[in-house]
Structure 1
Amino acid sequence: MLKIKRACLSCFFLSGMLTVSGQNIFKGYENLFTEPTQYTVFHTTDAITIDGRAIEKTWEAIPWTADFVDIEGSRKPLPALQTRMKMLRDENNLYIFAELEEPHVWATLTKHDAVIFHDNDFELFIDPDGDTHNYFEIEINALNTIFDLFLSKPYRNGGALLTTWNTENLKTAVQINGTLNNPADTDKGWTIEMAIPFAALRIGSHFHTSPPANTLWRVNFSRVQWDTEIVNGKYKKKTNASGKPLPEHNWVWSPQGLINMHYPERWGYIRFAGKDEKPGNVPFFLPEEETMKKYLWLLYYKQKEYQRSNKAYAKTLSALNIPALITTRAENKYIFKLEANTTQFTGTIIHNDKGNWAIDHNGKIIKK
C-alpha cells in the first residue's frame, strides 16, 4: 500500500507531457500517460445493507464518479449508455455501488467463476500496493454471478490467472430496474452493490488490513457491453460477415489508453480518507514518487519496443533516447540508471530524499 502525507504532497501528474531540454521524450506514447482518474473513499461507521439499492443516508452524501468513458480514452466516442459509481469504506470493507444504464438487461451465466465477460458485466481491478503485480479482479453480471481471480503479474509478463482464489466473505447484490431477459419491454438499467473485505485481498499469508488514512490504491472499473439484437424473442449478439460476435465495448472509470485492462500502471487512484473527513471539495494530491514512476514506465515501454525490434534489451539509455539526467517542468531533477543484458534489465530513478525507485523487465515497480 502507498501511504501519503497530505502536508507534504507536492507533485501532480502534469497537464502537459514532461519534457527534457525542451524535447518531449514521451512523444509516441501519449496515450499511455494521460492522467489517471482519482476518487476519495470516505469513511463510515453506519451499517450498510448489501441489497443493491444503496438507500442509506450515508450513500446519499457520497459523490458519484464521473461517467465511464471508452477504454482508449478521448480518441474514441463517449459511451452510448451511462455508467457511474460510488465508493465507501469502514474498518472492515470497501463498499462499491454501481449504476448501469441499460434498456435491455440480460444475462445467461450462473456458474461461479464462469467467464462472466461473455455476458454484459461490471468488473473491478485492485492493486493495493501499486507495484502492478499480485492484484485482484472481480466480475459480476446481472444474475449476480461472480468471477473472481488473482494474478501474480499481468499477462504481458507471463502471469497466469488463479481462479481458485475466492474473495472470502464477499457480499454482492444486484437490482434490476426493469426486467431480466425480456426483450418485449424497455428497461432502465441495473445496479450493483458490493462489500469487499479488506482481509479477503490476500494470497498465502500476506493480506491487506484496513488502510490507514491517506493510503493510495491503484484500481480500475470496467463495463463490458455487447451489441445485441432480438431473434425469435431472445437476445442474440450481433455478428460480422463471418458469423463471429462483433467486438465488445469496453467502458471504464479511468481510461487505459489501449484495449487492455491488464496494464495496472494505467489504473486510477483511490485515496482512503480519514475518519473526520467529509465529502466536499477535497483536493487530491499525488506524491512525487508517482511522477518518478512515469519515467520508469517510459523506460519499460521503450525497452519492450526495442526488444521486439532487436531481439534483445538495450544496454544504454542513449539507445532508448532517454537522458541520464531529467529535469521536469516543476524543476525536479531525476538521475536515471540502467543495468541490462540481452534478456533482463533494471532501470532506477534517483531523486534526493525521495528515495530510489526501480522497474525491471517483468514490469514490477520496486522501492530501493
Structure 2
Amino acid sequence: MPGYIIVDVKTRKILLICAAVTVATFVVGILIGYFSAKGSNDKKMPLPKYNMADAIRSECKSGDSKSTTWRTYFDRYVERHTRKHMCINDPTECWDFDLPRHYIAYHLGDKSINIDGKLDEEAWNEAPWSETFVDMRSDVYPKPYYDTKFKIRWDDERLYVGAYIQEENLWATYDKHDSSIWKENGFEMLMDVDGSMFNYKQIQINVLGTMMDQILYKSPMDAENGKKVNEKEWHAEPKKAVYYDGTVNKPGDIDKYWTAEMSFAFSKLYELYDSKPQIDDVWFIQFGRSEQNLTATNGKYEKVKGSSTDWWSWQPCDAINLHLQDRWGLVQFKKNLRDRKFRFEKWHIYKSLFDMMDALKKYKAINGAYTSSIEELDVPPYLLSGACVHVPEIKLSNQKVTLPDGNETTIRDFDVTVKSKYVSHAPAHIRSDRYVQFKN
C-alpha cells in the first residue's frame, strides 16, 4: 500500500495541492497578523474626551459619595495626580505652565499713601485687590468663612501693603513686639526678594497693631540637625497702622472687619543688598492668616478647648506650612497701571527646579538616599519631553560637618542643573535646602 501511494500520480497531486494550500494559508495568516500589528502601532489612539480628573472619577466610583470628607480626600487625590500628569504641547505654554497665583504691584507715581490703617486714598482705590484667601492646604477644601485679601503699591524707596481681614470677633492679647502672633488671630506675609529662597522675611500683625518680624536664612524644614535659621533681631522698621469696624476684645456684638496698612523700606527688605525692584522684577511672596475658634467666658474671649486653628493663605501650599517657599505666589512690579500683563519668563525654570527637588526628596524618604539617575525619579513627563528645559542634570555630594556636641555627621546634598530651551538665561541650580542660584 505505501508503494502504491508513492507511485500513484493522482494521489500525489492531491497531497501536493493540500500541502501548498496549507503553507499558503499559514503565510497569509502571518502576513495578516504582521500588518495588523503594524497598523495598530502606527495608528494614533484617539485621546479621551475628558481630562485626567474626569478619567480618574469615571474609574473610581466607589466610596461614600455622600460623605463630605470622602469627597474632599478624593478631590485632593485627583488634584495631585492631574497636576502630576500635565504635559506641554508647545513651548509657548512654558512660561505660564501651572503658574501659581500672581499679582501686579503698581508704582505710586505722583500719588501718596498716609499710613493710618484705612486704605481710603486714591492710590489704594486704583489698585486691584488680590484673590480672596483659600484653605492653606488646597482650594478643594471648603471656602474660608471670612474673606481676606490684600493690595500692594510701591515707590522708589518703599513697599506698601494693605490688607482687609473680615472678622466677627475682633480679638488679640499680644501687645509686645515679636510675640507669637500666629497663636492668636493674625495676618502675615513672607517675602523672598531675590528669588534665591534664602534670607526671606516674615512679618505678622494683629488687630492691636502688634508686629512680629524676622529674617529666615532658609526654611526651618531644611535646617540641619535642628540648627537655628531665623533671626528675630532683624527688624523691618515699618510704618504701620490698623483700623477696625467693631470693638476689640469685647464679646456680645458682631464686628465686621479690620484693615492693616504697612510700608517697608526696600533697604531693609533687601538687607544685604543695596537694591530696589526694577520694572518687571518678580518676588516670591506668600500671605497667610490664622483664625482661632473662640467662645466668650466672663466677658472675655477664649479659645475653645481642643479646637484647632484654621489656616488660610493667598496661594495654597498643599500643607499647613507657610515656610515652603517653592509653593508661594508671585508679585511683579510695574509702573504703568494699564499694563496688566503678568509675565515671568523664568517661571518654567523655577518650576522645573521645584519639581526635581520634590522628586528627589520623595526618593530619599523612601530609599534613604538621593539618586543621580533621573529615570528612577517620579518626575512629571514635561521634564523629560524637552518642551521647556533640557533634561535636568543631578550631581550628588557628601559633606562632613561638626555638630555642637563635637561629633561629626555627613550631610548628603544634591545639585540639580536646569537650562531653558527657549529663553536666554544662565543655567539654574537648586540644592536640597531649596537654595536657588543662576550660574554662568
TM above 0.5, yes or no, is yes
Give the distance between the partners of 1:174 and 1:68, measured in 2 at CA. 20
Native 8 Å contact 1:125 1:220 kept in 2: yes
User: Cα gap change, 1:227/1:208 in structure 2, threshold over 3 Å: closer, same or farther?
Assistant: farther
CA RMSD of aligned residues (A): 2.3
Deviation at 1:327? 2.5
Deviation at 1:285? 1.5
Deviation at 1:52? 0.2
Which residue is 1:305 aligned to? 362
Give the distance between the partners of 1:58 and 1:73, measured in 2 at CA. 32
Which residue is 1:285 aligned to? 343
Deviation at 1:27? 4.2
Give the distance between the partners of 1:221 and 1:138, measured in 2 at CA. 10
Higher strand share: 1
Give the distance between the partners of 1:39 and 1:178, measured in 2 at CA. 30
Of 247, 250, 254, 1:186 maps to: 254
Q: Which of 1 and 2 has higher RCO (CA within 8 Å, sep 6+)? A: 1
Q: Deviations over 1:289-347 (max 9, x none)?
A: 3112212212211211222222211132122145897336xx43523211114612111
User: Cα gap change, 1:333/1:215 in structure 2, threshold over 3 Å: closer, same or farther?
Assistant: closer
Native 8 Å contact 2:201 2:216 kept in 1: yes
Give matches, 1:21-36, under 5 Å. 27=81, 30=84, 35-36=99-100
Native 8 Å contact 2:150 2:164 kept in 1: yes
Of 148, 159, 179, 1:114 maps to: 179
Which residue is 1:13 aligned to? none
Give the distance between the partners of 1:69 and 1:57, measured in 2 at CA. 28
User: Cα gap change, 1:219/1:128 in structure 2, threshold over 3 Å: closer, same or farther?
Assistant: same
Give matches, 1:8-23, under 5 Å. none
Which residue is 1:42 aligned to? 106
Which residue is 1:152 aligned to? 217
Native 8 Å contact 1:313 1:341 kept in 2: no
Which residue is 2:235 aligned to? 166
Give the distance between the partners of 1:325 and 1:38, measured in 2 at CA. 23
User: Cα gap change, 1:315/1:117 in structure 2, threshold over 3 Å: closer, same or farther?
Assistant: same
3-state SS, counterpart of residue 139 of structure 2: helix
Which residue is 2:438 aligned to? 367
3-state SS, counterpart of residue 301 of structure 1: helix
Native 8 Å contact 2:99 2:347 kept in 1: no
Which residue is 1:12 aligned to? none
3-state SS, counterpart of residue 151 of structure 2: strand
3-state SS, counterpart of residue 392 of structure 2: strand
User: Cα gap change, 1:59/1:366 in structure 2, threshold over 3 Å: closer, same or farther?
Assistant: same
User: Cα gap change, 1:150/1:101 in structure 2, threshold over 3 Å: closer, same or farther?
Assistant: same
Deviation at 1:150? 0.5
Which residue is 1:7 aligned to? none
Native 8 Å contact 1:139 1:148 kept in 2: yes
Deviation at 1:247? 1.9
Of 352, 365, 369, 1:295 maps to: 352
User: Cα gap change, 1:29/1:305 in structure 2, threshold over 3 Å: closer, same or farther?
Assistant: farther
User: Cα gap change, 1:36/1:297 in structure 2, threshold over 3 Å: closer, same or farther?
Assistant: same
Gaps of 5+ in 2: 1-50, 53-79, 86-96, 399-411
Deviation at 1:34? 5.3
Of 311, 319, 338, 2:394 maps to: 338
Which residue is 2:384 aligned to? 326
Of 114, 136, 142, 1:77 maps to: 142
Q: Deviations over 1:101-121 (max 9, x none)?
A: 111101000111111111200
Deviation at 1:47? 2.3
Give matches, 1:217-296, under 5 Å. 217-240=283-306, 246-274=307-335, 277-278=336-337, 280=338, 282-287=340-345, 289-296=346-353
Which residue is 1:3 aligned to? none
Q: Deviations over 1:163-198 (max 9, x none)?
A: 111113x11101111111000211111110001111
Higher helix share: 2
User: Cα gap change, 1:91/1:239 in structure 2, threshold over 3 Å: closer, same or farther?
Assistant: same
Which ranges of 4 or more aligned residues in structure 1 deviate by more than 4 Å? Answer: 26-31, 321-325
3-state SS, counterpart of residue 123 of structure 1: strand
Give the distance between the partners of 2:130 and 2:420, measured in 1 at CA. 34
Give the distance between the partners of 2:186 and 2:287, measured in 1 at CA. 11
User: Cα gap change, 1:333/1:224 in structure 2, threshold over 3 Å: closer, same or farther?
Assistant: closer
120-129 or 295-304: bigger deviation: 295-304
Give the distance between the partners of 2:350 and 2:128, measured in 1 at CA. 29
Native 8 Å contact 2:389 2:418 kept in 1: no
User: Cα gap change, 1:95/1:217 in structure 2, threshold over 3 Å: closer, same or farther?
Assistant: same
Give the distance between the partners of 1:272 and 1:178, measured in 2 at CA. 34
Deviation at 1:281? 6.8
Deviation at 1:208? 5.1
Structure 1 or 2, whichever has the larger Rg, is 2
Task: Give me the TM-score of the superposition, normalised by structure 1.
Answer: 0.84
Look up the equivalent residue of 1:356 and give its one-letter code: P
